Amino acid sequence: MSTAHASPSIADRILGLRNRTPHHPWLATADGAWLTVEQTVGAALGVAERLAREDARPGDRIVIALTNSPAFRLLELAALLTGMVRVALTPRLHPREVARIAADCDARVICCDPGRVEAFHDAVNERGLCSAVAGFDSLAGFSGVDDIPRRADDRLLERRGTDPAMLLYTSGTTGAPKGASVSHRAWLAQLDLALEQLPSIGPDDRVLAVAPMAHFGGSMALDAALVGASTLTMARFSPVDVLDTVLSDGITVLPLAPIMVAMLAESAPPELVARAARQLRAIPYGGSPLAFSRLVTAARAFPGLLHQYYGLSETLAPVAALLATDHDRAVRLFDDGRLAEAEAILSSAGAVARGTQVRIDPVGEAAGHAVGETSEPGRLSVRSPLVTDGYWGPQGELRPATNSEGWFPTGDLGNFDAAGRLHLHGRGDDMIISGGFNVIPAEVESVIRTVEGVADVAVVGVPDDRWGQRVHATLVLGHPTRPLDQVTADIEAACRAAMAAFKRPLSFDVVPELPRTALDKVDRRALRARLAP
């Protein structure tokens, strides 16, 4: 059926591509064959039929917790085409963590890799959920290109731009996961704003989805696909394998996490890096801080290619962007010995994006300051058409995320420099960002406190050259004390059983008591200062 209406949806973009370029290669299968736009849409509608057999209907939430694969793309297209709500999660989450999110959004189906079906069934049953669990292989259950059913459009329905397209899950200061609702209209606005920062992207481009498809890199890969770029997926990141694929498959757009950018520049043979850099047209990245020296190395290795984006689940990206021209200028300044000027550029999030307002409120005060009015760090708030409509609540009611004037408090601390660039100074709520993933200290602490011999604990992020920040636990041992190696071994075992690997502490130390403020709260700033290199 036709989906033409005044407020377009993501489905309109997909069907427009099918109508204009039905035979254009659009999605690579696991065996290297290419599905055309028409075949991909047909396969996605076939996947929607499979979801419907699990009683999934328009408006239902579909959790996608898969490794990068063609199946991931077909599942998200199935949801977006037929009015279901995409809830994409990193497959690194523990099944219990996924089940908790599924319970929060009353998900109809949890889609996972086939080898994890039993673990997800156990987690769902443990919570008493009604969610179905479905395993999807590299081509979403179809044996090959010739086996893909040619589905009619009878599962398509008209979607309004204001309808929810996705829930992007984040975590608040309490550690409880929250699903930020993103409408079709907001995502399309994000798409246009994100891609205008890059060279013109279109059907002649090929994008490699090797960064997690549930996070920023996957969002950029989806954006590129929605304007016609062909997509290849890669399940595991390896610097040499990625660059080999860039060269062998004609990749032109490579969205990455910051740590991946650094690893490409530092770990792959220089000649391979140089050849891939000549082939590529853009490397958008975002998600976590990267040490200045590593960013200089990466910008030198990939001249004219690096585009950094800043955003959150609730605001989408970009709130601000540091473009390739900024990276290149910083390298020139560095080479001229003007290190402070180079660092001022590369330590920033760049300029605020078109149509976006950023306000900085001094800590402890109510007065707001618009762009450029203050150089003192304060609490960042954002107002733009991309900001979430609210957090998913009971019975699908949205809980407001903004104030009455439309400002969203990001929880980040930041300021503007004299050039108008936005600088970030960490999370106001003690969030740890490790390798681009958010870690809530309270969540980790609650697990560690269950371990025999732990009297108290505080978890903080400490600087780490590889991950930006690593999770560190400061322990107070009980009496009688147990050997520290036994306690830490039990902590590691407890964390393995309860949470994703990126949330687990990588280092420990022991103190007689935790530093506390006058209000008897743990003084995390003092802990971080003590642990700083």
Determine contact, residues 302/277, Cβ cutoff 8 Å: yes
3-class SS of residue 118 = helix
Please tell me whether residues 382 and 499 are part of one structural domain.
no
Please tell me whether residues 379 and 501 are part of one structural domain.
no
Please tell me whether residues 441 and 490 are part of one structural domain.
yes
Ranges of residues in the chain with a pLDDT under 50 are: 1-6, 140-146, 148, 172-174, 365-373, 518-519
- Up-side HSE of residue 408: CA atoms within 13 Å toward CB? 25
In 344-449, beta strands by DSSP E: 348-352, 357-362, 378-383, 391-392, 398-399, 408-416, 422-427, 432-434, 437-439
| pLDDT for residue 142 | 44
Please tell me whether residues 52 and 139 are part of one structural domain.
yes
| pLDDT for residue 152 | 52
- By residue count, the chain amounts to 533
Domain-located, residue 325: no
Q: Which residue has the tokens 């205008």?
A: 196
Overall domain count for the chain: 3
Please tell me whether residues 59 and 152 are part of one structural domain.
yes
Last residue of a domain, one of 143, 159, 175: 159
205-257 tens-digit pLDDT: 999 999 999 999 999 999 999 999 999 999 999 999 999 999 999 999 999 99
| pLDDT for residue 481 | 76
| Cα–Cα dist 232/521, whole Å | 49
Domain-located, residue 462: yes
H, E, C per residue of 510-523 = ECCCCCECCCCCEC
β pairing state of 507-510 and 468-477? parallel
Which residues form the domain of 519?
432-531
| pLDDT for residue 138 | 56
Region at 163 (left for phi over 0; alpha for psi -120 to 50; beta for the rest): beta
Determine contact, residues 179/101, Cβ cutoff 8 Å: yes
Please tell me whether residues 364 and 471 are part of one structural domain.
no
Domain-located, residue 27: no
Last residue of a domain, one of 427, 449, 483: 427
Please tell me whether residues 521 and 394 are part of one structural domain.
no
Other Cβ atoms less than 10 A from the Cβ of 307: the count is 25
Strand order in the sheet with 378-383: 283-285, 306-312, 316-322, 348-352, 422-427, 408-416, 378-383, 357-362
Determine contact, residues 1/81, Cβ cutoff 8 Å: no
Region at 244 (left for phi over 0; alpha for psi -120 to 50; beta for the rest): alpha
Domain-located, residue 517: yes
| pLDDT for residue 175 | 52
Please tell me whether residues 501 and 360 are part of one structural domain.
no
- Residue 466 to residues 259, 261, 288, 356, Cα–Cα distance (Å): 7, 11, 11, 32
Last residue of a domain, one of 100, 126, 159: 159
3-class SS of residue 365 = coil
Domain-located, residue 520: yes
Domain-located, residue 165: no
Please tell me whether residues 400 and 467 are part of one structural domain.
no
In 31-123, beta strands by DSSP E: 34-36, 61-65, 85-88, 109-112
| pLDDT for residue 253 | 99
Please tell me whether residues 420 and 504 are part of one structural domain.
no
Determine contact, residues 175/442, Cβ cutoff 8 Å: yes
Residue type, position 91, single letter? P
Residue type, position 424, single letter? L
| pLDDT for residue 185 | 96
Residues 6+ apart with CB under 8 A from 315: 382, 384, 386, 387, 388, 408, 410
Q: Which of 505, 498, 495 is nearest to 95 (CA)?
A: 498
CATH number of 45's domain: 3.40.50.980
| pLDDT for residue 360 | 93
| pLDDT for residue 41 | 93
Domain-located, residue 480: yes
Q: Which of 382, 395, 411, 381 is nearest to 170 (CA)?
A: 411
H or E, element range at 454 = strand 454-464
User: Token pair for residue 198?
Assistant: 């890059």
Helices (H), 160-238: 184-195, 216-226
Please tell me whether residues 504 and 453 are part of one structural domain.
yes
Please tell me whether residues 409 and 447 are part of one structural domain.
no
| pLDDT for residue 363 | 67
CATH number of 382's domain: 2.30.38.10
Determine contact, residues 260/211, Cβ cutoff 8 Å: yes
Domain-located, residue 416: yes
| pLDDT for residue 517 | 62
